Amino acid sequence: MQHPEDILVAPLVSEESWRLQASNIYAFRVRPEATKQQIKRAVEELFKVRVVAVRTMNMPGKPRRQRFYQRGRTPRWKKAFVRLAEGHRIEMYQ
């Protein structure tokens, strides 16, 4: 079993994530191999809240190039949207 700190990489701060917080949904960048059950357990342990649902998305790496012919890709990563139970909040941005 992994520690919760190993599963959640960072909270995602974007216009979309701020808008979703009004619906009690929070966005996190998570390890690509993390399962929904592991993400749910990690959020509940770290923030002492009750999680109702977890949605995940695998984000592909984007092609990038530098100068003329040096081509590469950004790393792939995983995004998780976590819906909390009514009355629960995460105070991470204050």
Report how many domains make up the chain.
Answer: 1
Residue 19 lies in a domain: yes
Residue 89 included in any domain: no
In a domain, 92, yes or no: no
Q: Quick one: pLDDT at residue 93?
A: 57
CATH of the domain at 51: 3.30.70.330
pLDDT at 1: 56
Domain membership flag for residue 21: yes
Q: Give me the domain span that covers residue 14.
A: 4-64+72-84
* Calpha distance 89→87 (Å, rounded): 7
pLDDT at 68 (0 to 100): 77
d(CA 23, CA 45): 21
pLDDT value, residue 35: 95
Residue 45 lies in a domain: yes
Q: pLDDT by residue for the chain (94 residues), tens digit each? A: 578 888 999 999 999 999 999 899 999 999 999 999 999 999 999 999 999 999 999 999 999 887 777 788 999 999 999 999 999 998 875 4
Asked whether residue 79 is domain-assigned, the answer is yes
Separation of alpha carbons 16 and 59, rounded Å: 16
What is the longest distance spanned by two Cα atoms in the chain?
Answer: 54
Residue 50 placed within a domain: yes
pLDDT of residue 11: 93
